Amino acid sequence: MTTTRTIRLTTFGAPEVMQLIDVDLPAPGPGQAQVRHTAIGFNFIDIYQRAGKYPLPLPMGLGHEAAGIVTALGEGVQGLAVGDRVVTMNAGLGAYADARNVAADKLVPIPAGISDEAAAATFFKAMTAQYLVQKTHAIQPGDTVLVHAAAGGVGQILSAWARALGATVIGTAGSPAKCAVAVQAGCHAAIDYTQPDWVAQVQAALGPAKARVVYDSVGAHTIDGSLDCAAPFGLVVVYGAASGPAPAIDPELLNKKGCLFLTRPSVFPHNADAATLRANAAQVFKAMAAGTVKPAIGARFGLHEAAALHHAAQDRRFTGAAVMLP
């Protein structure tokens, strides 16, 4: 038995509801590994869950993504050893901690040449981009795609990966400075979606054929424009809700907008078993090794600064990814 610091929620609300407490950490049970975290990833879903937008049983931990070192193994664990560097993004809530026990089949070894910080900052986001460009729609050379929030952690990776696969990538972001980041990340052009005529500007950038695929992680603010920017028989992919959930859409509207397809995927069903998780992770690490996926760390905080990180993210005060260092 050892002691670890962890973020605990007993109520939903503002960032200040996150409490950093000391808890006992038992030895790992059968099928588990104990991991000492070296870097903890932040994702916007953390804000949704902290605020209660996706109500979960209380009290609860927070955070899905972390990298670290295996310090102990429970009975029956194979394929891992004490001292291995590993990363996880779907082992359940509780990554906001110095250490924790997790199911060993949710851990992925980190290849040599990729730092723990890069893995923690990138893995969840890159695994999201991976299913978006390879499974939700397998991007083909010549495709034209629209990526909303292209300066964000997922958006930068998604834009770069889509371009590497041969797509023409038009992005949106929330300021001229962020549009510049989006272009640097891989967009051929980027439009400020805070402008009242952003839809017309995006349509002009896309050209008359419009977008074969629209990737929308913004939700309420952009969904109507997303439908207007999709090509006939195109696909609109709503995979987040940074501005609030997208409203319900009458199927008849999809017909009127050009017989569009609409989907709401998420990363966890795409990585539901250990074999699929590791196969998808191999694609991510391959893209990282090739330089297609590059860690873009825009902010670093301590674990004790979790509330400050959430405030900074809500206020859009950084681009790219953020990590917490225990």
Residue-level pLDDT at 321? 87
Indicate the class that CATH gives domain 141-263. Answer: alpha beta
Mean pLDDT of 190-202: 97
pLDDT value of residue 240: 87
Question: pLDDT tens across 207-257, in order?
Answer: 999 999 999 999 889 999 999 999 999 999 999 887 788 889 999 999 999
pLDDT score for 69 = 98
How many whole angstroms separate alpha carbon 289 and alpha carbon 285?
Answer: 6
pLDDT of residue 149: 94
Return the structure tokens found at 157: 């990776």
Instruction: Give pLDDT, residue 114.
Output: 95
Residue 318 is predicted with a pLDDT of 85
In this structure, whether the domain defined by 2-122+271-325 belongs to CATH 3.30.70.2860 is answered with no
The two beta strands, 32-41 and 321-325, are antiparallel
In the chain, where are the structural domains located?
2-122+271-325, 141-263
Q: What is the pLDDT of residue 295?
A: 87
pLDDT at site 285: 97
Q: What percent of the chain has pLDDT over 70?
A: 100
Summary mean pLDDT of the chain: 95
Q: Residue 1: pLDDT above 80?
A: no
Task: Residue 45: name the closest of 305, 271, 319, 267 by CA.
Answer: 267
pLDDT for the residue numbered 35? 98
Rounded to an integer, what distance in angstroms lies between the CA atom of residue 43 and that of residue 37?
17
Mean pLDDT confidence for 299-314? 97
For residue range 139-170, list pLDDT tens digits in order.
999 999 999 999 988 999 999 999 999 999 99
Give residue 25's pLDDT. Answer: 97
318 or 132, higher pLDDT = 132
